[in-house]
């Protein structure tokens, strides 16, 4: 049972609450990513698991045992820090085995494990170098090796790749996955980078302002955002969220409207007519210079080159809508027509900003978890 369970966990510094009433479970052997903008409390959560921060209220369980008062050293965790925290006065080898020596692990065993990580992380031949004689990528691998060699049940990583350049990140992620496949620890990984989260996580915990926004698989976080924050945080450019009114089987945005299919009509009528917000990802639209059936008309405000395609910023009756286009031949002020894909719509309650759910036949993956409401299968 190498799981970690948060039960009404809170953390505050004086009057500032940095983590508010946290309830969730990290499953044995999974790769869980804590994602969110800076200051959202994600690092604090990681540090509470490590025992480097006290828990203000609530209970934290690891391996089924309450650990609120268990010191760091007895929690069977290893951690990789953003700055790597390598001991500058110790060689690569000394850095890696120092913890084992302190724990009085058998000499042969130390050698065996050392060989294993040096091999796996391509650090052979660097054993006797000091950290300052290594490149950034090598330092990162030493930090990883030092954490791996402990063979602890829980593997914590605090923005471990944020000091690397883009190419090194890709290979480092592969290495991390390899380690995980071989050793099968429970991984908790903090990052603010959504690409990292999407590519690495079994599940993502999205945090904002000390509150858990959504916990689910990367697919669901992308396709089935639990609330407006999640929809906007994941994806770039962010999901368009538009003010709307419900017509008779149609959605009215500004002075224009488009029709809903039967599935959506039924879904919306089921939850009862309320004030809603309409959400659509820029990549889930079609953009054209000539009118489209069931589309919206807008004026081009700004075009952003994204390499393989263009983000076109439109003014649709006073609201901003971003659409993706494969060609960049748009000029400012020009009329353009957008058709959002019906099966990619999102609707949110205007007052709570929570998702209203999706028609059953449209589901992407097995199930959805909604904040506070427990599991809701739609």
Partner 1 sequence: MRISRHAETIWHFIFMVTVLVMVFPIIYAFGMSFKPLEDAYNNVLNILPINASLENYRTLFASLPVLKITMNTFVVASVATVFKLVTSFLAAYAFVYFKFKGKEVIYFLLIGTIFIPFTVTMIPNYLIISEIGMLDSVWGVILPQLADAVGIFLIHQAMKNIPGSLIEVARLDNMGHGRIMKDIVLPLVRPAVTSVGIWFFIGTWNEFVWPVLVLKTTENYTLPLALQMFISSEGGTNFTVAMAVSVITMIIPLILYLSFQKYIIGTFTSSGIK
Cβ distance to partner 1 smaller for residue 37 or 73: 73
Alpha helices for the chain (secondary structure H): 42-50, 92-102, 107-120, 136-148, 166-183, 194-200, 218-223, 228-233, 262-271
* H/E stretch holding 80: strand 77-80
Cβ distance to partner 1 smaller for residue 75 or 346: 75
Question: Does residue 256 contact residue 296 with C-beta atoms inside 8 Å?
Answer: yes
Q: How far apart are CA 231 and CA 346, in angstroms?
A: 9
Structure tokens at 12: 């505050």
Alpha helices for 224-278 (secondary structure H): 228-233, 262-271
What is the smallest separation between the CB atom of 50 and partner 1, expressed in angstroms?
Answer: 6
Q: How far apart are CA 312 and CA 360, in angstroms?
A: 32
What is the smallest separation between the CB atom of 128 and partner 1, expressed in angstroms?
Answer: 17
Cβ distance to partner 1 smaller for residue 2 or 224: 2
Structure tokens at 186: 């429970």
Task: Estimate to the nearest angstrom the gap between the alpha carbon of 347 and the chain centroid.
Answer: 21
Euclidean distance between the first and the last CA atom of the chain, given in angstroms as a whole number: 31
Cβ distance to partner 1 smaller for residue 188 or 231: 188
What is the smallest separation between the CB atom of 298 and partner 1, expressed in angstroms?
Answer: 49
Task: Estimate to the nearest angstrom the gap between the alpha carbon of 289 and the chain centroid.
Answer: 36
Residue that has been written with the tokens 């959400």 in this structure: 279
Cβ distance to partner 1 smaller for residue 117 or 321: 117
Structure tokens at 347: 């609707």
**Which residues contact partner 1 (rule: CB under 8 A)?**
50-52, 71-75, 77-79, 81-83, 85, 87-89, 98-99, 102-103, 146, 150
Q: How far apart are CA 86 and CA 80, in angstroms?
A: 10
What is the smallest separation between the CB atom of 100 and partner 1, expressed in angstroms?
Answer: 9
Cβ distance to partner 1 smaller for residue 86 or 206: 86
Cβ distance to partner 1 smaller for residue 50 or 342: 50
């Amino acid at each position: 049972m190498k799981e970690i369970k948060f039960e009404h966990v809170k953390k505050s510094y004086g009057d500032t609450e940095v983590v508010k009433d946290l309830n969730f479970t990290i499953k044995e052997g999974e790769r869980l990513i804590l994602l969110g903008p800076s200051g959202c409390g994600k690092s604090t959560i990681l540090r509470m698991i490590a025992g480097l921060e006290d828990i203000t209220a609530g209970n934290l369980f690891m391996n089924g045992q309450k650990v609120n008062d268990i010191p760091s050293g007895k929690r069977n965790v290893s951690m990789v820090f953003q700055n790597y925290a390598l001991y500058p006065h110790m060689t690569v080898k000394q850095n890696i085995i120092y913890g084992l020596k302190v724990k009085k692990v058998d000499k042969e065993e130390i050698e065996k494990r050392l060989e294993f990580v040096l091999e796996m992380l391509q650090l052979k031949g660097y054993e006797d170098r000091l950290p300052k004689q290594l490149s950034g990528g090598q330092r990162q691998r030493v930090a990883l090796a030092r954490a791996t060699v402990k063979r602890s049940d829980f593997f914590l990583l605090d923005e471990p790749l944020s000091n690397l350049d883009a190419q090194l990140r890709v290979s480092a992620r592969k290495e991390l996955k390899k380690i995980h496949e071989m050793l099968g620890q429970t991984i908790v990984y903090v990052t603010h980078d959504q690409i990292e989260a999407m590519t690495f996580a079994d599940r993502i915990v999205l945090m904002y302002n000390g509150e858990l926004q959504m916990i689910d698989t990367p697919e669901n976080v992308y396709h089935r955002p639990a609330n407006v924050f999640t929809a906007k945080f994941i994806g770039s450019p962010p999901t368009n969220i538009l003010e709307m009114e419900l017509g008779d089987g149609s959605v009215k945005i500004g002075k224009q409207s488009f029709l809903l299919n039967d599935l959506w009509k039924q879904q919306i009528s089921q939850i009862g007519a309320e004030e809603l917000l309409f959400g659509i990802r820029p990549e889930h639209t079609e953009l054209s210079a000539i009118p489209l059936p069931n589309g919206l008309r807008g004026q081009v405000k700004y075009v952003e080159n994204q390499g393989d395609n263009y983000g076109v910023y439109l003014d649709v009756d006073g609201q901003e809508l971003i659409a993706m286009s494969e060609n960049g031949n748009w000029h400012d002020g020009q009329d353009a027509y957008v058709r959002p894909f019906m099966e990619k719509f999102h609707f949110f309650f205007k007052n709570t900003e929570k998702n209203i759910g999706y028609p059953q036949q449209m589901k992407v993956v097995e199930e959805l978890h909604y904040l506070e409401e427990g599991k809701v299968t739609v």
